[in-house]
Structure 1
Amino acid sequence: MQKQVSFALITLILITTAVVSYISLEKGSSFLSKKENTSNHHHKNNASSSSFKKIAYINQLSEWDGPKILDAMGLNSPCYNVFILTFWMPGWVSDALSVWENISTYISTTKYGKTDAEIQKKILELFHAQGKQLFISAFGGTDNPTGSDPVQIASQLADFVNRNPYIDGVDIDYEDNDAIVNGTGVTWLITFQKALAEKINNKNIIFTHAPQAPYFSRAYYDNGAYYTIEQEVGHLISWYNVQFYNQESDSYDSYEKLFLNSGAPFVNTSYQEIIEKDKIPISKLVLGKPATPKDADNTGYVEPAELGKICTEAQQKLGYNIPGFFIWEFINDQHCVFSNAFSKNYNPNAIKKTY
């Protein structure tokens, strides 16, 4: 999959607050750093691990200047509860994440604080007060870091997070297809994830990965692909934002292909096949789709109402309750068209049985 990056290199130019006991997804988040307690407030975060995750990636922003940036980053959204700012890459930061890194320059007001750290902290408190979470994402479809030392890259990303600690999680969107094919990417990711978890000061940070759905095919990829990654470092990964799109002949656009039999060439990568063959619980498999046809480079787009019906069919026939869905990208569903249509046709609580 290629996620298009429209680089925002205008960086330098141009979250009620404290709720007693904040619990972050899966692990909790007290914002304790080795150097300091970066938040004296503990927030109850309603986007808990038991909640149905409605996740939106944010690459482009609908607003790049002033307080409206907060709406562009998902604050006040009535339909999504986890937002992921993209992308961190070795040596530089792009798009929405570049704005977050330099938020004091862009927001054009001291209402939320004067320094980047003060403003980031206040914004995160506002997200938490609304039961939302804020993540950042690394790499994306345009950056392949496998040629570099994984420990060094982990150190660089950890340094960024330690300088910008007011986030709930880090999403690893690794898409080096050639390295996954020959198996070197698997070894790289395992070493990288271990080092990243060690080097980030806030030990309550959540880690997620965003693999393309084919990466779960042990039959197609050497070295076990994401099966091996789950076996080795799955305890460090809270869930997978699985990209069930942009896979050309594997379209994942029907009940059969998405839940029963993915087909060639990326065999064994439907929900049932990943669950039964890779032994990854459905609770870790978030369904990813493009928000609109223009958000897909090739295959995989499904009308959201139809996608909701497909998930309901899987719920009724297989007993599968998906833990959530994500869209690429938020700018094209700020008015909740995708989210509302999907939600009208899928009730995650209709059947309690899950696998």
Structure 2
Amino acid sequence: MFSVSWFSVLLSLLLFRGVLSAPTCELKARSVDAVPPSKRAVPSGPRFVIYSDKWVSGLTGPPPVSEIQGYNVFALSFLLTSGPADKALEWTQLSASDRSTVKSQYSSAGISLIVSAFGSTDAPTSSGANPTSTANTMAAWVKEFDLDGIDVDYEDFNAMDKGDGSAESWLATFTQQLRTQLPQGQFILSHAPVAPWFTVNNLFAAGAYLKVDQTVGSLIDWYNVQFYNQGTTEYTTCDNLLNTAGGDWPGSALFEIASAGVDLNKLVIGKPGLSAGDANNGYIDPSTLAGCVEQAKSKGWDAGVMVWEFPDAAASWIQTVRSQAFPE
């Protein structure tokens, strides 16, 4: 994913292979003993997920539900190892009463409100973050601020590219510990890997997300797969998005990933909302993407669609993308 953080104009000049985020403050564990347990709605599918990291004039926190009609999951980005940033930070700046009002409105509209962790500027494995304590602290933050779950947008490419298993092991421990604190069926726990991490490739000798899925996939509700930022022509047609990726990352198309053993209906198709600014490449216009989604559904897929990011994609974007396969 790619975005412009409002914390630093300089960050807008940097290109990343994934989401853009910026540390803002130290994240400290907080007691959640006073938070009463409550069951959280976890959409069973299809999931229509939209991320929000971009500063929007006049808006603190999530937008009115009318602006994201057609989605059922809204991800505040990002919760970093150093603390909440951007839209996650804005959520904390609302009063408890305002947060309660927003949550009620979103719940009534059938939209789960979650936080996304890490992003492209946070490299927890490479920086030596402890996966267990990081999971405990982030889960406590989710509970304290009354969210419906967490999305793990792990983009520590240096750790994964080592191929020594450190990234896979870190992710497995982190996911297992999150689940001890955020029980399945009550809280959303999704991951947002780049599509090539699901391939058999010498670069990922330890297995990348195929290994993660084999180890802790049963604990993960779904994957918001980033089918973009991985080459100039990858994932730009229905065929190389769904059937045969080719190019730099053979084996990473939707149905190729499923053939490698990943549950097809956990593979949410992720795309940028704009042809420029939201990603370096991988864009498909909404009308064409709607046809791709319909093709996938006709072949037994039912996972849903993710987009980076609000407000570049909003209600009209998802309504177009859903129009052929999942009309409202």
TM-score range relative to shorter protein: 0.7 to 0.9
CA contact (8 A) 2:61 2:90 kept: no
> Is the counterpart of residue 90 in structure 1 residue 81 in structure 2?
yes
Partner of 2:284: 302
Amino acid corresponding to residue 138 of structure 1 in structure 2: A
Amino acid corresponding to residue 314 of structure 1 in structure 2: A
CA contact (8 A) 1:172 1:207 kept: yes
Instruction: For 1:186-265, list aligned pairs within 5 A.
Output: 186-200=168-182, 204-219=186-201, 220-249=203-232, 251-265=234-248
> Is the counterpart of residue 280 in structure 1 residue 262 in structure 2?
yes
Quick one: distance in 2 between partners of 1:131 and 1:284? 20
CA contact (8 A) 2:119 2:154 kept: yes
Match of 2:325 among 319, 340, 347: 347
Quick one: distance in 2 between partners of 1:312 and 1:93? 37
Partner of 1:326: 306
TM-score normalised by structure 2 residue count: 0.83
CA contact (8 A) 1:321 1:348 kept: no
TM-score normalised by structure 1 residue count: 0.77
Structure of higher CA gyration radius: 1
Quick one: distance in 1 between partners of 2:286 and 2:225? 17
Partner of 1:53: 47
Deviation at 1:241, TM superposition (A): 0.3
CA contact (8 A) 1:58 1:73 kept: no
Partner of 2:36: 37
Partner of 1:5: 5
Partner of 2:110: 131
Quick one: distance in 2 between partners of 1:239 and 1:189? 15
1:199–1:48 CA distance, 2 compared to 1 (3 A): closer
1:347–1:205 CA distance, 2 compared to 1 (3 A): same
Deviation at 1:236, TM superposition (A): 1.1
Quick one: distance in 2 between partners of 1:307 and 1:288? 11
Give the secondary-structure state (helix, strand or coil) at the position aligned to 1:137: strand
Partner of 1:109: none
1:323–1:138 CA distance, 2 compared to 1 (3 A): same
Quick one: distance in 1 between partners of 2:247 and 2:67? 42
Quick one: distance in 2 between partners of 1:37 and 1:330? 31
1:48–1:158 CA distance, 2 compared to 1 (3 A): closer
Deviation at 1:35, TM superposition (A): 4.7
Deviation at 1:158, TM superposition (A): 2.4
Deviation at 1:281, TM superposition (A): 1.7
Deviation at 1:77, TM superposition (A): 3.0
Higher relative contact order (CA 8 A, sep 6+): 2
Amino acid corresponding to residue 60 of structure 1 in structure 2: K
> Is the counterpart of residue 152 in structure 1 residue 146 in structure 2?
no
Match of 1:293 among 275, 281, 305: 275
Sequence identity percentage: 29
Amino acid corresponding to residue 329 of structure 1 in structure 2: E
> Is the counterpart of residue 140 in structure 1 residue 139 in structure 2?
no
CA contact (8 A) 1:58 1:96 kept: yes
Match of 2:249 among 266, 270, 273: 266
CA contact (8 A) 1:189 1:229 kept: yes
1:325–1:311 CA distance, 2 compared to 1 (3 A): same
Per-residue Cα deviation, 1:239-282 (whole angstroms, up to 9, x for no partner): 000000111246211122111111143221111111111x1122
Partner of 2:160: 180
What are structure 1's unaligned runs of at least 5 residues? 13-32, 105-115, 350-355
CA contact (8 A) 2:228 2:282 kept: yes
Quick one: distance in 2 between partners of 1:160 and 1:134? 14
Quick one: distance in 2 between partners of 1:202 and 1:119? 27
Per-residue Cα deviation, 1:211-241 (whole angstroms, up to 9, x for no partner): 0111101224121111111111111100000
Partner of 2:71: 80
Per-residue Cα deviation, 1:45-91 (whole angstroms, up to 9, x for no partner): 5x7314x32211011243445xxx46626466323221000001012
CA contact (8 A) 2:293 2:325 kept: no
1:265–1:202 CA distance, 2 compared to 1 (3 A): closer
What are structure 2's unaligned runs of at least 5 residues? 9-21, 26-31
Per-residue Cα deviation, 1:112-159 (whole angstroms, up to 9, x for no partner): xxxx2x432332122111111101000011111113222232233123
- After TM superposition, the structure 1 stretch with the greater mean CA deviation from structure 2, 75-84 or 300-309, is 75-84
Aligned residues, how many?
Answer: 302
Quick one: distance in 2 between partners of 1:152 and 1:314? 39
Amino acid corresponding to residue 331 of structure 1 in structure 2: P
